Amino acid sequence: MARPAQDGNEKNAAVNRRARHEYEIEEHFEAGIVLVGSEVKSLREGAVTLGDGYIVHEDGALILVNVHISEYANANRHNHEPTRPRKLLLHRREIEQIAEAIESKGRTCVPLRIYFKHGLAKVEIGIGRGKKTYDKRHDLKERDAKREMDRARSERD
């Protein structure tokens, strides 16, 4: 499935490039995130790491786990815990579809990027299968070949 086009009103806070290398993404979803004030401030500064994050299904809700949002320097004692689990906001139908995909063998759900859309923090999540080592090498070869062709084309022009 093609990646959704980025709207002019969107500003990326973080992109998980490793997820596209490690997983073959089959489906994309957009979800809201339940955050506290200091987390939003840190997101706006880009102080977030998605690398080890994943999504689990608990009690009829989807939870974003292992995403590190750094503490906000000016939040004093009202700061947040950097790696706390965060609830995702989706329609019930989407939650059921994602939960079913997570429970099927060999599929996982990972955050692809966190961004702001019309001032609201959103997370793009993807359902995918883990790639084998030879698939990763094949993708790297294709990307290098494309880069070489583009370089040769630009030198010719």
* 73 or 32, which is more confident: 32
pLDDT at 1: 42
pLDDT at 2: 45
pLDDT in tens, 82-105: 888 999 999 999 999 999 988 888
Q: Which tokens belong to 36?
A: 């506290």
Exposed, middle or buried, 82 (CB in 10 Å: 0-12/13-18/19+)?
Answer: middle
The CATH number of 11-131, from 3.40.50.300, 2.40.50.220, 3.40.50.880, 2.40.280.10, is 2.40.280.10
Average pLDDT, the chain: 85
63-80 average pLDDT score: 83
pLDDT in tens, 12-59: 888 888 888 788 888 999 999 998 888 888 888 888 888 888 899 998
Quote the Cα angle for 15-17-22, to 5°. 140
pLDDT in tens, 117-141: 998 999 999 998 887 777 678 878 8
